[in-house]
Amino acid sequence: MTSPTAPGPTTVRTARLDAFVAEARAVVERGLPPAPTATRVGERLAPHLGTPDLLLPHQCLGDPLRYRQHILHAEQDGSFSVVALVWLPGQRTPVHDHVSWCVTGVHRGQESERRYRLVPDGDTGRLVATGDVVNAEGDVCGFAPPGDIHQVSNSCRGTAISLHVYGADISRLGSSIRRVYTLPADC
């Protein structure tokens, strides 16, 4: 699990992050289905990644025990939120899926992702790895449930920071994780 989060709606933001939030809001307000919404939000996020004026210094701080979540924005109507995840070397998520559509963009460093598919097997099923991806600075990906099972880790020697935009209010939910999988997994 992630470490404590910064307060969401009252978080001080940079002008660049405010500009991105306005761009994301315009996309979300169109009311498109989850997958096209994620694609269009990702297109708006990409130009902001890697820029020095996107995050404030305290929003780039990690936690030595686990990856850290900083809630940067939560839309008042709960339609989306923006989170920075800060990963120190070797930190990783459990295998999980999500409560909503999601867009992830790497702001600094790189992240490794292993994607899975749930297949029936006995009473509970098992996970089959479907691919490994290394996302570098500036890379953006998006997805919508179902079919969003994965594990993410910091695969670089330094700190990695990624921005995540979720179609839910993470300040209220606390996390984007819907379910953690402990099923057997094919590696």
105 versus 124: the higher-pLDDT residue is 105
Q: Give the pLDDT confidence score for residue 168 in this predicted structure.
A: 87
CATH architecture of 10-186: Sandwich (2.60)
| Matching residue, tokens 């307060």 | 7
Q: How far apart are CA 109 and CA 35, in angstroms?
A: 26
> How confident is residue 122, by pLDDT bands cut at 50, 70 and 90?
confident
Q: Give the pLDDT confidence score for residue 6 in this predicted structure.
A: 39
55 versus 4: the higher-pLDDT residue is 55
Predicted structure pTM score = 0.86
Q: Give the pLDDT confidence score for residue 184 in this predicted structure.
A: 52
122 versus 39: the higher-pLDDT residue is 39
63 versus 95: the higher-pLDDT residue is 63
Q: Give the pLDDT confidence score for residue 83 in this predicted structure.
A: 93
SS in 3 state form for 5-28? EECCCCCCCCHHHHHHHHHHHHHH
- The arithmetic mean of pLDDT across residues 159-170, rounded, is 92
Q: Give the pLDDT confidence score for residue 11 in this predicted structure.
A: 62
- DSSP structural state of residue 90: T
Q: How far apart are CA 148 and CA 109, in angstroms?
A: 23
- pLDDT exceeds cutoff 80 at 74: yes
Q: How far apart are CA 114 and CA 4, in angstroms?
A: 25
Q: What percentage of the chain has pLDDT greater than the value 70?
A: 86
Q: What percentage of the chain has pLDDT greater than the value 90?
A: 57
Q: How far apart are CA 72 and CA 7, in angstroms?
A: 8
